[in-house]
């Protein structure tokens, strides 16, 4: 009798957990990333895509990243002559802004179900760090985020 009761209780918990997962999945939306008014902080805005397939969604998100953000004064991630076909203009960005733009692009595109990693090519060549080494593929976990609200906040992470 106790076993049957245990199995029924486990089944009820499992089904209620599935309902919560379904609900939270419906409420979640894609996000577009932009720069704040000063260009020093990466911000996110909710975004509801119109397209369903991955290829069309990539194009839709790329186009949306070039539009002026909803919040007045914020800056589009892809501006100043920068497009997804990263030109030499991308290499002329201030280093701190380049990292924010890269983080926003990666975080935007890895939201798409079949996109796990993003690789950056500038004029067909792999993006390099300040020491001339290729950066390689990136995921959302490739970046640490500090809101800037607590200047003495520490974060610990294993980075490669």
The DSSP result for 65-90, as a single string, is: TTSPPSSTT-EESS-TT--SS--HHH
What phi, psi does 95 have (nearest 5°)?
A: -55, -45
Q: Taking the model in full, what pTM does it have?
A: 0.67
Show the low-confidence residues of the chain (pLDDT under 70). 1-28, 80-81, 83, 145-157, 159-160
- How far is it, in rounded angstroms, from Cα 23 to Cα 3? 30
Task: Give the model's pLDDT for residue 133.
Answer: 92
Q: What is the pLDDT of residues 114-151, one digit of tens each?
A: 888 899 998 889 998 889 999 989 998 888 765 555 55
Contact 61, 76 (CB under 8 A): no
Contact 61, 74 (CB under 8 A): no
Task: Give the model's pLDDT for residue 126.
Answer: 92
- How far is it, in rounded angstroms, from Cα 3 to Cα 18? 22
């Amino acid at each position: 009798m106790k076993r049957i009761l245990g199995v029924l209780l486990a089944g009820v918990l499992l089904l209620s957990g599935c309902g919560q997962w379904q609900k939270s999945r419906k409420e979640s939306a894609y996000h577009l990333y932009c720069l704040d008014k000063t260009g020093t902080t990466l911000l996110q805005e909710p975004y509801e895509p119109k397209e369903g397939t991955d290829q069309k969604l990539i194009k839709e998100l790329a186009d949306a990243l070039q539009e002026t953000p909803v919040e007045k004064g914020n800056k589009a991630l892809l501006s100043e002559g920068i497009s997804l076909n990263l030109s030499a203009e991308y290499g002329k960005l201030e280093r701190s802004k380049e990292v924010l733009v890269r983080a926003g692009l990666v975080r935007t595109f890895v939201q798409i179900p079949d996109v796990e990693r993003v690789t950056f090519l500038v004029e067909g060549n792999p993006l390099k760090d300040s020491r001339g080494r290729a950066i390689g593929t990136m995921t959302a976990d490739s970046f640490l985020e500090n809101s800037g609200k607590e200047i003495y906040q520490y974060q610990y992470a294993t980075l490669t």
